[in-house]
Amino acid sequence: MTSPDLVRLALAARAGRGVEEERLWEVVRPRLVRIALSLGVPAADVPDVVQETLFAAHRALGRFDPGAGSFEGWLGTILVRRARNLARSRCRRWRILELFRTIGLPVAARSPQALDRLEARLVVERLLGCLSVSQREVVALNEIGELDAAETAQVLGLTPAGVRSIARDARRRLAEEARRPAGTGKERS
Amino acid sequence: MSDEHEGIDTLRRAIDDLADRLPERHPRRRTWAVSWAAVAAGVIVAAAIATYRFLPRPVSPASLGVEVKFLRVRGLDVEVRVFEAARAGTVVIAPAIDRRDMQRPVGVLVGSEGGLR
């Protein structure tokens, strides 16, 4: 579905047509899942983050202004904010758990999930691990989410030239990491 | 150029593979929501109990298991309401009249043999 089609669907949904809104979320969901994964959101948390993004978008749909940017960009902004919040809360949680471990309190390990064993998850983690946070965000929106440089720049508060430059560096890094045999490179978070 | 896109293509394939295997919504959140709902319900119940226990309530003789007795005061038999003993050897009484504002408990000593004085 092209960007103008999405805007038309969004405007119809905004006008209060329930069927159009259902269809709208159905269409955008797969792309949001891919963007969330490439932002570095853990696979087990992606369905929740996407669901929360869609819920926030549903509540704010009345404020969507097609003149201010594309619908994908508008959704991307919500998703990036949610992913950043999740990363912050995970960081806080991790610090608290570390504190618990330091003082000797037992901390239950996360239950193993089927996703943890997936080869694809390991590949995604390894490749994203070689990127900085800003590179991940640019790759997620510009490359995976297929927003153009101007839209990506608007979402992330950068300039289009900055987005292109960051994307170029990120592609180079990813290419190097992809050529390197798994387990031999240094990963960054 | 194709070399530069090798990494991004690998990432895209892996993300597509992973995305296809993800459930619509992870059930963990529902479990969490249920847990939080249970905790919230517990807090509300505890707050309600605390409010009930600690908020000052108007003392009504009827709420304390009243027994009406006659007490001789200065040669007159006065009808009084007798309450449970606040501590050993005492009871609390109130004038047994219909005006609610007068039905405030007042203390009186009870002899060791149990009779009212």
Same domain for B70 and B32: no
d(CA B73, CA B115): 14
User: Does the residue B12 lie in any domain?
Assistant: yes
User: Does the residue B117 lie in any domain?
Assistant: no
The answer to whether B27 contacts chain A (CB < 8 Å) is no
The answer to whether A47 contacts chain B (CB < 8 Å) is yes
Three-class SS state of B27: helix
A161/A89: higher pLDDT = A161
Joined tokens for residue A138: 């640019």
pLDDT band at A111 (very low <50, low <70, confident <90, very high): very low
Question: How does pLDDT run across A58-77, given as a tens digit for each residue?
Answer: 888 888 888 888 888 899 99
The answer, yes or no, to whether ipTM is higher than 0.90 is no
pLDDT at residue A80, as a whole number: 92
Considering only CB atoms, which chain B residues are within 8 Å of A172? 4
Joined tokens for residue A180: 């390197």
A146 closest CA partner among A43, A57, A34: A34
A57 closest CA partner among A82, A35, A34: A82
Same domain for B49 and B14: yes
Question: How does pLDDT run across A11-39, given as a tens digit for each residue?
Answer: 887 777 778 788 888 888 999 999 999 99
d(CA A154, CA A170): 19
Question: How far from A34 is each of A23, A70, A124, B20, CA to CA, in Å?
Answer: 18, 18, 11, 10
pLDDT at residue B68, as a whole number: 61
Residues 6+ apart with CB under 8 A from A122: A182
Same domain for B45 and B14: yes
Same domain for B32 and B68: no
Mean pLDDT is lowest, of A15-19, A58-62, B26-30, B43-47, for B26-30
Q: Is the distance from CB of B59 to CB of B39 less than 8 angstroms?
A: no
Joined tokens for residue B2: 């194709």
The answer to whether A164 contacts chain B (CB < 8 Å) is no
User: Does the residue B115 lie in any domain?
Assistant: no
pLDDT at residue A103, as a whole number: 79
End-to-end CA distance of chain B, in Å? 108
Mean pLDDT is lowest, of A31-35, A66-70, A158-162, B13-17, for A66-70
End-to-end CA distance of chain A, in Å? 34
Same domain for B41 and B78: no
Same domain for B50 and B33: yes
User: Does the residue B114 lie in any domain?
Assistant: no
Same domain for B66 and B43: no
Judge: A173–B7 Cβ closer than 8 Å, yes or no. yes
Q: Closest to A44 (Cβ–Cβ): which among B11, B19, B26?
A: B26
Instruction: Look at residues B28, B54, B80 and tell me which one is the last residue of a structural domain.
Output: B54
Q: Is the distance from CB of A160 to CB of A149 less than 8 angstroms?
A: yes
pLDDT band at A119 (very low <50, low <70, confident <90, very high): confident
Question: How far from A126 is each of A84, A91, B5, B54, B115, CA to CA, in Å?
Answer: 20, 19, 16, 59, 89
Residues of the domain holding B103: 61-109
Number of domains in chain B: 2
Considering only CB atoms, which chain A residues are within 8 Å of B28? 44, 48
pLDDT at residue A95, as a whole number: 84
In CATH, the number for domain A3-179 is 1.10.1740.10
* Closest-CA residue of chain B to A47: B25
Joined tokens for residue A34: 């891919």
Q: For residue B74, which amino acid is it?
A: R
Same domain for B14 and B36: yes
HEC profile of chain B: CHHHHHHHHHHHHHHHHHHHHCCCCCHHHHHHHHHHHHHHHHHHHHHHHHHHHHCCCCCCHHHHCCEEEEEEECCEEEEEEECCCCCCCEEEEEECCCCHHHCCCEEEEECCCCCEC
